[in-house]
Amino acid sequence: MNDSLQARDKKFLWHPYTQMEDYAQRDILIIDRAEGLMLYDQQGKDYFDTISSWWCILHGHNHPTIKGFLRHQLDKLDHVLLAGASHEAAILLAEKLISLTPEKLTRIFYSDNGSTACEVALKMSLQYWRHTGRPGRKRFIALERGYHGDTIGTMSLGGVPDFHKEFAEILFQSFTIPSPYCYRCPAAQSPESCRLECLLPLRELLEREGENIAAIILEPLIQAAGGMRIYPARYLQELAELVQGHGVHLILDEVATGFGRTGKMFALEHAGITPDFLCLSKALTGGMLPMAATLTTEEIYQAFYGPYRENKTFYHGHTFTGNPLAAAAALGSLQVFAEEQPFTRLGHTIPHLHGKMSRFGELPWVGEVRCLGMIAALELVKNKQTKEPFSFAERVGWKIYLKGLEQGLLLRPLSNIVYLWLPISATIKEIDEITERAWRVLGDADNISGWSAK
């Protein structure tokens, strides 16, 4: 059966973010079942899902509480459009999300993935300014190495060239400011001496173009797909103060960081700020089903509210907007928070994970260890002193991925960045096992492509 599946996979499937030629002479990993942190292939071999299946599995796979909510919903309602109709699960979920987020956020617009959650925020911001008599505010600001999805709009604000450069001719123009990349600080500052010089270009841009800017979008505290770049909360605090001082909307993309992954329910809590838009997805349903939500303020909502003849309607929607099954899964995930109180556990597991990762910094090919909540990242370099990176052609991440599979770890490095993005349900014992297996992969120079002592 497995051989047949391998052949049929190669014949019919086109996998995302995957060079299919890699599997011309190699079997792809086919997962048969999952439980907790573990994935199992058809031969029964197990693998730790160290990246939460692209950052969405929150409480472990197949959590019984979430499945219970789904079963209950299946007996009632599978799907109904959310245009001119509604249903209990969507309403209850909206109430709960509003209660968990900053007081200023009072309205929720559902969609079905992180890209569209961010796209909704961009479109709402643009249309808000037109409704309020300021159509000149039509430009957006994003960060270098930022990533907000793969729609045309979100790619236009994407800062990862490898992902988006092929589509440059169909993207709209936006402003880009430097990334807060502390390890390779362009101002050559250390964390102790940092005065947030990397915000100077934003300050100058706002002074010059502030009246023409609708919004800025960024990922709070960590640029994930852009290389797991973790930055301090005070950067976020000062950025928020700057943009809001110029009347520019602040869009926080918490698609990846929401729901406890950083040690707080939302990353924005580390900085104590409130955005104009908050974009959520991935772990919203605990990773069980696709769903997304864009939260915004009453002020923005009211700009769209009025007699039909004024044509202020927000013309945006998706077939599965607010799907009852997905909403039920999200309610189930929030019920897990209530039942298991994971933040109590995280008070122990987060420092334990960070402590376990610290020894990786001793390896001569690890330039920096970065940790935030249940996220840990290693930046691999050829030379610690010069921070010389491995080249694209050396493809160090691919070899580590393959060695990880041998050790029962599903890793998916981002070029020279090897990272863990663990479910918040991970235990001390599981963290110990994962980091020990990772050490066996990364502690061996033979597994680090192109490395040699310099």
Measured CA to CA, the distance from residue 264 to residue 267 in angstroms comes to 6
How many angstroms separate the CA atoms of 412 and 52, rounded? 11
* 95 three-class SS: helix
In this structure, which long-range contacts are made by residues 287-290, counting pairs with CB atoms below 8 Å and at least 24 apart in sequence?
Answer: 287/52, 287/53, 287/56, 287/57, 287/58, 287/61, 288/63, 288/66, 288/67, 288/70, 288/329, 288/332, 288/333, 289/70, 289/323, 289/325, 289/326, 289/329, 290/112, 290/113, 290/320, 290/326
The amino acid that residue 141 corresponds to is I
SS3 state at 128: helix
Q: Is the dihedral of CA 104, 109, 110, 116 positive or negative?
A: negative
3-state SS assignment for residue 120 = helix
Residue for token pair 């409704």 = 131
Q: How many CA atoms lie within 13 A of 55 on its CB side?
A: 21
**How far apart are the C-alpha atoms of 114 and 247, rounded to whole Å?**
25
Task: Give how far Cα 36 sits from Cα of 8, 63, 229, 395, Å.
Answer: 28, 7, 28, 31
* H/E segment holding residue 375: strand 375-383
**CA terminus-to-terminus distance, the chain:** 49
Residue 193: Cβ within 10 Å count:
10
What residues act catalytically? 17, 147, 253, 282
